[in-house]
A and B are shown apart, each in its own frame.
Chain A
Amino acid sequence: MRRLASTVLALGLGLTGGLTGVLPVAWAEGAAEPDADTFATAHLARMAAAVDGLDYEGTLVYLADNRLETLHVVHRLVGGRVEERMVSLSGSVRAVTRDQDVVTCVLSGDHPISVKRKTGIPDLLRAPAIDPAVLSDNYFVHPLGATRVAGRDTDVVGLIPRDDFRYGYRFYLDRQTGLPLKSDLMGTDGDAIEQIMFAAVEVGPAGSAQASTDPTGMPVPAGAGSVGATPAGLNQAALAPTALAPSGPAGESTGGDSPWRFEDLPPGFAVRMHDSWPEGGEGRVEHFLVSDHLASLSVFVEPLGQGGLSGHSRIGAVHAVGGQVAGHQVTVVGQVPAETVAAVLGGLHHTGAGPR
């Protein structure tokens, strides 16, 4: 059920042959251009290119759950390879580093997490991820005015969900470079539930930044040292996918050869990818990516005995739900509302064929 602001504004959107929808006023400040969709779409395509193709470094502020955190982020291309690092500046040191091959998370009090990045990921999953023709069934793409962020002029573009099964997005894009200087995750009631913003940022063309051993100036814990390194003791093998095995056509709510089937997925969501890897000897973990091309969640099916979530949990706007289905531990996690992960878990069942 869509919950709207007290006043609504009807806007004609011409994404695919002219769509008409209802937009909360809170989202639509300074909006309503005649070719708004083209404008917004061009900005989003530019954003995707800027995020990958520029060197930038700055201080981020993160606001969620009435908490404010500061982060330092570095993104640079060195020899054609992307190196990224995000380090918390508040509280204990927590860090994420990412390069072409591996993403490593060092979080306080836990073992470092390292996940190998896939190569050859289909275009469906990689930039340009914003395809208005594909998204229009589930989102409005619309310009929402202009403002200043981190001392720079930005154009604001909104991705407004058509129902409550997905969050909305509001991107404040640097007018000069297209980089998102502020990102708001919009809840189903139209309020920002998570905001991240550059307080200060330096942007340059790719390769302009000089690589340094410690760009943040912060003590980086063991395991998150040099970008791309594979620290010892990482829990890497457990989650290293063996092969990418996309399922059938997008929208098909099955897991391909898998005995697992998804029924009654939320509107617009479908299984976009299926993967599996060995876990704990004879067992295997099956991973299904369910997405509406923008919002997404993952379904992990594991043998029992590995421990796992029972019930609902969340971190920020990321919701997770877990339980046992047909003698397996199933965990559904993604940056979607709690109702969405619950609906996906509720629709999962085992056909009886294949390994149980």
Chain B
Amino acid sequence: MKDHQRQALSALVDGELPASQAGGLLDALGRDPELRDQWERYHLIGGALRGEAASLAYREIAERTRARIAAEPTVLAPAAARPRRPSRLAPFAGVALAASAAFLAVFAVPALFQSVAHRPAAPALAQESAPQSVSSPAPALASLPAALPTSPEAPAAQALIAANPAPRDVAPRRFEAGRPSQRWHVDQPGLANKLDRLLVNHQEHAPATGINGMLPYATLVSYDTGR
């Protein structure tokens, strides 16, 4: 990392770098990890001077984002459009497009609906699996900001992503250990307690209580409030 790059980086952080120089510096940032570290340090220093809370969770966020993206499955997206010369045929393109649409409406669309109705099993599987490879990067990227702070180990994250194209670093609520089972499933705060009282009162008069002792109370004791 050269001194002029460091100065340019500082100016960029402060928003004082001329736009003409920004492109080159950003390209250098993409290539040079040391420059990226410096970029992060400048931001940390600036945040500290402004009295902002610094979160270690965001350390090396660029590297981790890069690792994640590198580990993503290939995105089957169309190639970037290249600038083309204006064609002499351009005025006729609209007419041709309209003709094609009319042809599709008359001949192709009915056949399409028929093929959907009588779609065999194997093509169905192919069609169902194909969109996954295209659409999976989107949810993976969408979950990135939430996922990164909890998984600083890039290799582990890569392995996870390789195994599961749509990783969920936050455990679903239904997986939580010791999650209480709600008694009665009622929303009113005092109602569950009231139903408990009525049940205890009932239990004390129920004939079945006489034959199996306290066992009827197991239901009451086994369910937590969940509130």
B97 CB to nearest A CB, Å: 58
Cross-chain contact of A309 among B195, B219, B220, B221 (Cβ < 8 A): B195
User: In the assembled complex, which residues on chain B have CB atoms less than 8 Å from the CB atom of A95?
Assistant: 221
**Cβ of A342 under 8 Å from chain B:** no
Contact with A along B117-155 (1 / 0, CB 8 A): 000000000000000000000000000000000000000
| Interface residues contributed by chain A, number (CB under 8 Å) | 79
- Interface locus among B28-36, B63-71, B78-86, B186-194: B186-194
Are the C-beta atoms of A44 and B197 separated by less than 8 Å? no
Cross-chain contact of A105 among B191, B196, B206, B208 (Cβ < 8 A): B196
Are the C-beta atoms of A110 and B188 separated by less than 8 Å? no
Are the C-beta atoms of A110 and B225 separated by less than 8 Å? yes
**Cβ of B202 under 8 Å from chain A:** yes
A111 CA to B217 CA, complexed, in Å: 17
A308 CA to B181 CA, complexed, in Å: 21
Cross-chain contact of A239 among B192, B195, B201, B221 (Cβ < 8 A): B201
Contact with B along A78-114 (1 / 0, CB 8 A): 0000001011101110111010000101011111010
Q: Can you report 8 residue pairs joining A to B where beta carbons are below 8 Å apart?
A: A84-B213, A92-B180, A98-B214, A110-B225, A113-B197, A129-B211, A235-B197, A333-B202
Shortest Cβ-Cβ A-B pairs, 9 listed: A298-B202, A109-B225, A316-B219, A69-B222, A51-B213, A127-B210, A129-B210, A296-B206, A110-B193
Using CB atoms and an 8 Å cutoff, list the residues of chain A in contact with chain B: 44, 47-48, 51-52, 60, 62, 64-65, 67, 69, 71, 73, 75, 84, 86-88, 90-92, 94-96, 98, 103, 105, 107-111, 113, 115, 117-118, 121, 124-130, 169, 171, 180, 183, 194, 196, 235, 238-239, 272-273, 287, 289, 291, 293-298, 300, 307-309, 313-318, 320, 331, 333-335
Using CB atoms and an 8 Å cutoff, list the residues of chain B in contact with chain A: 178, 180-181, 183-186, 188, 190-208, 210-225, 227
